[in-house]
Amino acid sequence: ALNTDISSEAYRETRDISSSVAQTITKLQEVDQSRQEFVSNVSHELKTPITSIRVLADSLMGMGEVPVELYREFMEDISNEIDRESKIIDDLLSLVKMDKSEAELNITQVNLNVLVEQILKRLRPIANRRKVELIFESIREVTADVDEMKLSLAITNLVENAIKYNMEEGWVRVTLDADHKFFYLKVQDSGIGIPEDVQDRIFERFYRVDKARSRETGGSGLGLAITRNVVLMHKGAIKLSSKEGEGSTFTLRIPLNYIA
Ligand code: ADP
């Protein structure tokens, strides 16, 4: 009887070990697969502008005598594609930096009202060009412990999107509020909205609802992934509520006092 007990215990142990080994392998395979997917997405995204540049340059070269206006038009397109490529590379570098476990926040006390004003001032020319009104509703003065550069990037991405995916004569309203624990930053727009079934997916790297529109507006497809990373690094949360054709609201909730 004793023998059987021992062997059945040994059996159980072996079974437990092999099942945890199997779990680890599955986990590693998943990590490897998502890494492969990411690399393949990156390659594809980086190739797209290059391919356009190739086509534009080849057609220019194949044309012989080119009127100066046409030449300028092609050059403008090439220049836009170069900007797009640079944006993808910059965004990728930001993401990769944040992914490293040693990525650290440079926390200081920041007046968020001033920060939001600065961001809106920088984006106002883009909004004006698209005839979108930018409104800042500051419910109270808020000072918080944050990484100013990273948070600024996160908010800029949200406001830029709210401008890009808007309608002509639309508006974007940024609201800043706080309680004793958190600050709340809301970016609301009167734009095209996001279909319910993809609302979870838009935070994924390179996911876009409308590829053509994102391309046209020079998006890298990485903006929301960066924003979410920054928010999580601050131990905060990001929430989206949106209705197609009516607009979207992104809300950040971030602790006022950062505790490492
Ligand atoms: P992109 O560079 O394409 O803007 P993002 O990661 O910033 O990449 O956003 C991912 C996608 O989410 C966008 O392509 C767009 O389809 C959708 N999106 C983001 N913000 C908004 C918004 N305010 N209104 C409607 N759609 C949005």
Q: Is 247 in the pocket of ligand 1 (CB under 6 A)?
A: no
Q: Residue 2 — very low, low, confident or very high, per pLDDT cuts 50/70/90?
A: low
Specify the pLDDT at position 4: 57
Closest C-alpha residue for ligand 1 atom 23: 162
What pLDDT does 57 receive?
Answer: 94
Whether 17 has a pLDDT exceeding 70, the answer reads yes
Given the CA of residue 226, which atom of ligand 1 is nearest to it? 6
> Does position 7 have pLDDT exceeding 80, yes or no?
no
- Please give the pLDDT value at position 100: 76
Mean pLDDT computed over 107-116: 98
Q: Three-class SS string for 156-220? A: HHHHHHHHHCCCCCCEEEEEEEECCCEEEEEEEECCCCCCHHHCCHHHCCCCCCCHHHHHHCCCC
Q: What is the mean pLDDT of residues 11-32?
A: 88
pLDDT 10s digits, 142-198:
999 999 999 999 999 999 999 999 998 999 999 999 999 999 999 999 999 999 999
Tell me: the pLDDT tens digits for 186-242?
999 999 999 999 999 999 999 999 887 777 777 899 999 999 999 999 999 999 999
> 87 CB less than 6 Å from ligand 1?
no
Average pLDDT over residues 18-39: 88
| Ligand 1 pocket residue status of 167, Cβ below 6 Å | no
Protein residue whose Cα sits closest to atom 11 of ligand 1 = 208
As a whole-number percent, the residues of the chain with pLDDT over 90 amount to 73
Closest ligand 1 atom, CA of 208? 14
**pLDDT above 70: residue 91:** yes
Query: What residue type is 169 in one-letter code?
Result: E
Q: Which residues contact 105 (CB under 8 A, 6 or more apart)?
A: 146, 147, 150, 233, 234, 258
Q: Enter the pTM of the model.
A: 0.86
pLDDT interval class at 96 (50, 70, 90): confident
Kindly give the number of the ligand 1 atom that is closest to the alpha carbon of 192. Answer: 25
CA of 234 to the centre of ligand 1 (A): 22
Which ligand 1 atom sits closest to the C-alpha of 193?
Answer: 25
Q: Is the CB of 172 under 6 A from ligand 1?
A: no
Average pLDDT of the chain to the nearest whole number? 92
- Cα(203) to ligand 1 centroid in Å equals 9
CA of 175 relative to ligand 1 center, distance in Å? 20
Q: Which residues, including other chains, have CB under 8 Å from residue 127's CB and lie 6 or more apart?
A: 133, 134, 163, 172
pLDDT of the residue at 117? 98
